[in-house]
Amino acid sequence: MNKTQLINYVSRCSKINRKESTAVVNWTLEGIMKGTKSRDGMRLAGFGNFKCVTTGREKKYNRRTRRYNWTKGSKQIQFNANKAYKTYVS
């Protein structure tokens, strides 16, 4: 399911027009993104947890130059599904 299909689904289920359902889906996704960026992450009961994890810098050895190089750290998003969601999917 892509975003357009999700908007159509919300529009059909809630019986609101497509413009309003587009706004609802966009606000929901924006809230999830802001919540994920926070320190505690985002918890949705019955669905799962979103969390932003920072990977640290790594020291790697280059055999050719015989020196150590430091790699830059990055941020990654983790999602852990709750038991109810896992049961529903399987």
CATH number of 73's domain:
4.10.520.10
- Host domain of residue 49: 38-90
Specify whether 26 is located in the same domain as 43: no
Number of domains in the chain: 2
pLDDT confidence tier of residue 10, bands split at 50, 70 and 90: very high
pLDDT exceeds cutoff 90 at 37: no
Specify whether 90 is located in the same domain as 56: yes
- 53 CB-near residues (< 8 Å, 6+ apart): 75, 76, 77, 78
Specify whether 48 is located in the same domain as 59: yes
Specify whether 48 is located in the same domain as 12: no
Specify whether 31 is located in the same domain as 43: no
Nearest to 14 by CA among 1, 53, 22: 22
Specify whether 25 is located in the same domain as 64: no
Each residue's pLDDT tens digit, 16-32: 999 999 999 999 999 99
Each residue's pLDDT tens digit, 55-85: 888 888 999 999 999 888 888 999 999 998 9
pLDDT recorded at residue 54 = 86
Q: What is the pTM of this model?
A: 0.70
